[in-house]
Structure 1
C-alpha cells in the first residue's frame, strides 16, 4: 500500500466528498496510520537503545528499575540473556521513546548480561553490568559536629585541567560572572593540602551532574543525572577526589537536587510519563517560598502546592515525586552516586520544596543501605526571616504535620540559617548580642540542635565582607562564635581569606590562585602570596580550627548559656553539662565581646556546668586577664574579641 497517497486520498475524500468525521471514521483513519507505521507484518523498524539509567548496578543493592531511552520501544518484548536476572516490563511511553523495566537481581551473579528488545521488525541488545558491592570499607562515614566543613563551588575554585574548559555550545569566559570559568575536580584535588592545613575535615562540593547550558556553571540545572559534567572532568576524577580525601582521613559531601532539573533536560520536551513533572513548560506554577504554609494546618491546598509543585525561579522544571516512578528514579540515582563515590554525606538542595513523604522514603531507603550516611537540608528562601520554629519543622527525628499527614522527614539536620541571620545582625548590623542568646534559647525546638550545620554565608548569599560596616575584625569575631558554638560549622570557600562579593553571581568570584596565569597575581593557596589582610584572616581562622579540632568539648559537647548583654555573650561547652567539673569532665568557656572597648566579664560558676572547676587553661585570648576562684571566673575580653578558656 502507498500509505501517504492512501491517507491523503482519505482526507481529501472527507472534505470533497462530504464524509462526516464520525468516531467510526476517525477510528478507521487511525488504523490506517497504525498499519502504515508497522506494516502488514508488524513493526516497520526495530527497537533502538540510546541510554539506560542507571548505567550499572550492584548485586547486593535493592532491585533496580531501569529507565530505558530509545526508539520504537512500544509493544516491544524485553528479555535478558546470559544471567539469572529476571525482568518485568513496568510500562512504555506511547511514543516508544521510554520504557521502565524492573529487574529481579536476588539470584543474579556479578557480571555483564545482554538486555534485548525485540519486535517483528528485528531486535537490538545492549550490555548491562552488575558488580559486587564493596563494603564495609567503602561505606559512608557521615559528617557530624566533630567535623569542620568547607563549601566549594567547583567551577570557581581551581582549574586543574585546562583542556576541559571549552565544551561545545558552552560559554567559557572568566570575565563573565554568568559563564563557565574552568574550575574542576582535579583542581580541588590538587589543593587538598591547603584545606587540610587550614583544619578542614569535610569537603562539600556543588553538584557535579552534567549541566549542558551556557550559564549553568553552578551545577543546579542538570541535563543528565548520571553523568559528571565535562567541564568538571570524569567520574574517575570524582572517585579519585573521594579516595584522596578518605586517604587523608577527610570526608566528601555531594550536593543532590531531587527537586528539579535544568530547562534544557531532554525530559522537558519528551517526558517518560505525562506526569513526570508538576505542570509543563507552557503551563506551571511559580514556586513560592512561603514555607509556613507547609506547617500551617489551616493553610489552603493552593498555598502548599505553590511551594511543593512550583517551578523554582519560574524556570527549573519541578519533579513530581508523588509519581512512584519519579520517586524510584530519584532515590535510585542518589544510591548510585553514593555507591560509585563512597561519599560520606549529602547536601539536599531546596529541601522544603519537596514533599515530606518523599523525604521520609528517601532517607529510609538510603539509611538501610548506608547506615552512617548523614544529610543536611537547605531550608532557605532567600530572606533573613527564618525563625527556628520554621527551620526546625524540617528536621528529622520528630513527627511533624505536613498539611494533613504526620511524617518524619528523616533528615539528619537542616542548615542553621537562623544562626546565619543573627550572627550577621549582631556583628555588622549593630543588633544586641542578646539576639544570639535568644536564638540559642530556642534550641529545644530541634530534636538534635547539636547537629545543626551553622554558617556565616554560602554561594547563595552576599559575602560577609560585602555587608555594610563589615571589617576583618568583625568577620573574625563571627568566625570565633561559629567555630566554638554548638553545631557543625561550614566555611564558604574564600571567607577564610576575607573575600568580598555582593549578591549572586558576584559572591561566586574565582578563588585567587586557582586559575592560570597566576604567576603575577595573588595566590591565596600559598602563604607567601597572600595579601596582608588575607593572611591575617587566614591565620586567625586556622588557629580557631586548630583549637576546635583539638578539644572534644567543642566538637561533641552540649552548650549552656550562662550570660549575655548588649555587647557580650558567654556560653559553656562540654559533656554531661548537668554536672560540674567534679564529674571529671572538662568544660570550655567562651566569652565574646562585640563592643569597641575591652570588657571585663565576671561569671558566677555556682549552679552552672562550671561548678567546682578550679583550674583554667587559656585556649584563646589574653593569658594574663583570666582569674578563677572557687565560685567565679573573670576575664578581660578585647574589643571585637574572643576569649576561650578550658576549665577543670
Structure 2
C-alpha cells in the first residue's frame, strides 16, 4: 500500500508540472483580422513550447513570464477563413491543448456607423438606470442598494427595456459606462476593471450587450461604449501578478500619483519632470497605471477595443482619462480602429476648461506631438462656460469667448458639448429655477456640435458631488417601476423639463441647419446671446435658423445690423419657439423682442 501511495504521489507531482492554460485573452478573434497577440494564463508555462494545429499559421515569438503563469503568443497572421484551431503547450512533463476560434466578422453594415453632429448622445451609468433582471442583483442586494456607492442593480436589460423612452425624448445615440468585470466594493461604476474581457455579472452577460446593440440598431440608434485603456482596478490579478514587470508604471507599493494638470503636456518648454506624473501616475492614487509604451500592453489594449467593437457591433467609443495616456499609443490605437472601421467614431475625456489645452488632443493636431487620431474631445471648455453663464451669472460674452477659440480644432463641428455628466454635480442642483435649465438646454441643443445629455437631467434631477450626482433613475428600480419613464409617473417639474427638452430635440431633428449648419455669432452681451445656424443644400437652398436667449429677469430688445452677416436680406421670420411676433425685420436690421428668462428660435427666409 505504501508503494502504491508513493507512485500515486509521484504521478500527481508530475501532473502538477505539466502545462496548464486556464484563460486566453482575447477569448476569440476573427478571420482576416490583423495578427493577434494571445495572452495565455495558466501554470507551468516556463519551459513550454507552443504549436498550432493549422500548419498555415505561425507563431512569431513567445514571451513567458518569469513565474510561468503567463505566455504571450504572437501570431504572424490570422486565418483567412473561419475556423477553430487547437493551441498546444508542451514541456517535458506533459501536454495541454485548448481550442481557439477565429470567427466570421460582422457585416460592415452591422453597426460601426459612428456618430456626428446629426446625433444626440445620452449618457447612462448602467448600474443607476434600470434593473431589468433582478436575478443578477446579487445576494447582498438590499444592503448594497442602501449604500450611495453600492451596486444598485441597474443592468443592460434595463436599458434595452426603456429604449422607447429614449427614442421618444429624441435620443439617437447612447453612451454606456464600462461593462468590464469590476470585482470589488464600490466598483459599480465600471472604471476599475478586474477582467477586461468579461461583462460584469451585475450588468448581465455578453449576450445582453449584443441584444442591446441589436435593439438599438433596429431603431436606427447607435451604441457608444466606455473604454479605459489608462488603468485597471486595484483588484485586477495583474496588480499582484503581472504578465511582465513592465506592464505597469510603478507598483502597488511604489508608484506616483497622477496629476490632473495637463498644461505641461502642451507646453514645449516644460521638462519631463512636470509631465511624467500625468501619463505615469496612478489615477486617484488607487488605479494601477498601465504602461502603454510596452509593445505587449499596447497590443493588448488595442485588441481589447477591437474585440468589444466587433463583438457588440459598436458605433463608437468614449475614451476615459484620455490625456493620461501618451500620444504615440493613441496614434496606433486609432490607426487600427479606423482601418478596420472607417466610419467608427471616438470621443475622449479631456477634463479641462482651457480650449488651448483641450484642442491639442484632437485628431489632426500635431503642435504638441504626434497626431492622436481622436475624432473629437468632449467640449469641456463650453461645459464650464455654460455653467458660468447660467449658474454663476457670468456674462454671455464668456461663452462667446470660448466659441471664438473653435479655430484651434480641425473639426469644431465634431465637438460634444454638455451641461453635466457622471463626474460633475448635476446642472439643476445649481439652478435657481426650471427656466435656467430650459435656457441652458436651448443653447446646448442648438449650438454647433453633438449635444450630450446626462441621464436624469431631462427630468431635472438634482445632485451634488459624487455620489450624490449618481442617484438611481426614478422608475427603474423596485416598487417605483416605470415612474419617470412614463408621463403619468412624472411630477409637474419633471414633465416640464422633459417636454422642454423633447421639443428642442424635435426642432433639432427637423432642422438640418441646427445639426450641421455653420454657426455665426451675431450678438452677445451680459444677458443675451444671438446666433444663427446656416446650411445650404442643393435641394432646399439656404436654411437659416436664428437662436436668441435672454437670461435676465427683465425683457430685452436686441437690435442686430444684418449687413454682411449670414442673415442679410432676410425678409420673413417664422417663429418655431417663443412668442409670435418676437422678431421684427427692417432693411439692414433685425430686432429680437425677448421676454424675461426666455428664448426664441426662428427660421429666416
TM range (shorter): over 0.9
Q: What is the CA–CA distance in structure 2 between the aligned matches of 1:370 and 1:224, rounded to whole Å?
A: 25
Measure how far apart 1:430 and its partner are. 1.1
Measure how far apart 1:214 and its partner are. 1.6
Equivalent positions of 1:468-483 (< 5 A) are 469-483=431-445
Q: Secondary structure at the match of 1:585?
A: strand
Measure how far apart 1:641 and its partner are. 1.2
Q: What is the CA–CA distance in structure 1 between the aligned matches of 2:237 and 2:399, rounded to whole Å?
A: 47
Q: Which residue of 1 aligns with 2:479?
A: 517
Equivalent positions of 1:192-231 (< 5 A) are 192-231=163-202
Deviation string for 1:221-264 (max 9, x for gaps)? 00000000000001000000001000001000000000000000
Q: Which runs of 5+ in 2 are unaligned?
A: 1-9
Equivalent positions of 1:45-444 (< 5 A) are 45-82=17-54, 84-166=56-138, 173-380=144-351, 386-401=353-368, 406-444=369-407
Measure how far apart 1:586 and its partner are. 1.1
Measure how far apart 1:149 and its partner are. 0.4
Q: What is the CA–CA distance in structure 2 between the aligned matches of 1:108 and 1:624, rounded to whole Å?
A: 66
Q: Does the 8 Å CA contact 1:464/1:470 hold for their aligned counterparts?
A: no
TM-score by length of 2: 0.95
TM-score by length of 1: 0.89
Deviation string for 1:531-585 (max 9, x for gaps)? 01101111001000000111100000111111111110111111369xxx9x931
Deviation string for 1:567-611 (max 9, x for gaps)? 10111111369xxx9x93111111110100121222221100111
Deviation string for 1:65-118 (max 9, x for gaps)? 000000000110111125632223321001000000012345443121111111
* 1:504 aligns to 2:466 (yes or no): yes
Measure how far apart 1:631 and its partner are. 2.4
> Given the alignment, which residue of 481, 487, 490 partners 2:452?
490
Distance 1:328 1:585, change over 3 A: same
Distance 1:503 1:238, change over 3 A: same
Q: What is the CA–CA distance in structure 2 between the aligned matches of 1:197 and 1:537, rounded to whole Å?
A: 14
Distance 1:139 1:202, change over 3 A: closer
* 1:449 aligns to 2:398 (yes or no): no
Equivalent positions of 1:572-587 (< 5 A) are 572-575=532-535, 584-587=541-544
Q: Secondary structure at the match of 1:327?
A: helix
Q: Secondary structure at the match of 2:592?
A: strand
Q: Which residue of 2 aligns with 1:633?
A: 590
Q: Which runs of 5+ in 1 are unaligned?
A: 1-37
Q: Does the 8 Å CA contact 2:334/2:374 hold for their aligned counterparts?
A: yes
Q: What is the CA–CA distance in structure 2 between the aligned matches of 1:496 and 1:410, rounded to whole Å?
A: 32
Moved more, 227-236 or 612-621: 612-621
Equivalent positions of 1:4-83 (< 5 A) are 45-82=17-54
Distance 1:172 1:121, change over 3 A: farther
Q: Which residue of 2 aligns with 1:608?
A: 565
Distance 1:131 1:392, change over 3 A: same
> Given the alignment, which residue of 485, 495, 499 partners 1:535?
495
Q: Does the 8 Å CA contact 1:166/1:172 hold for their aligned counterparts?
A: no
Q: Secondary structure at the match of 1:196?
A: helix
Deviation string for 1:126-158 (max 9, x for gaps)? 111011112222240001100000000000000
Q: Does the 8 Å CA contact 1:84/1:109 hold for their aligned counterparts?
A: no
Q: What is the CA–CA distance in structure 2 between the aligned matches of 1:136 and 1:357, rounded to whole Å?
A: 28
Moved more, 620-629 or 213-222: 620-629
Q: What is the CA–CA distance in structure 1 between the aligned matches of 2:445 and 2:42, rounded to whole Å?
A: 52
Q: What is the CA–CA distance in structure 1 between the aligned matches of 2:550 and 2:209, rounded to whole Å?
A: 43
Q: What is the CA–CA distance in structure 2 between the aligned matches of 1:132 and 1:142, rounded to whole Å?
A: 21
Q: What is the CA–CA distance in structure 1 between the aligned matches of 2:458 and 2:96, rounded to whole Å?
A: 55
Matched residues, number? 594
Q: What is the CA–CA distance in structure 2 between the aligned matches of 1:596 and 1:278, rounded to whole Å?
A: 54
Q: Secondary structure at the match of 2:580?
A: coil
> Given the alignment, which residue of 575, 580, 586 partners 1:618?
575
Q: What is the CA–CA distance in structure 2 between the aligned matches of 1:354 and 1:106, rounded to whole Å?
A: 28
Q: Does the 8 Å CA contact 2:31/2:105 hold for their aligned counterparts?
A: yes
Distance 1:274 1:331, change over 3 A: same
Moved more, 230-239 or 77-86: 77-86
Q: What is the CA–CA distance in structure 1 between the aligned matches of 2:154 and 2:175, rounded to whole Å?
A: 15
Q: Does the 8 Å CA contact 2:36/2:78 hold for their aligned counterparts?
A: no
Deviation string for 1:194-221 (max 9, x for gaps)? 0000000000000001001121000000
Measure how far apart 1:436 and its partner are. 1.0
Deviation string for 1:364-390 (max 9, x for gaps)? 111000000111100016xxxx21111
Measure how far apart 1:167 and its partner are. 6.0
Q: Does the 8 Å CA contact 1:171/1:180 hold for their aligned counterparts?
A: no
Measure how far apart 1:632 and its partner are. 2.2
Deviation string for 1:490-536 (max 9, x for gaps)? 000000000000100110000000001126xx811010110011011
Q: Secondary structure at the match of 2:88?
A: strand
Q: Secondary structure at the match of 1:627?
A: strand
Q: Secondary structure at the match of 1:478?
A: helix
Q: Secondary structure at the match of 1:442?
A: helix
Q: What is the CA–CA distance in structure 1 between the aligned matches of 2:101 and 2:343, rounded to whole Å?
A: 27
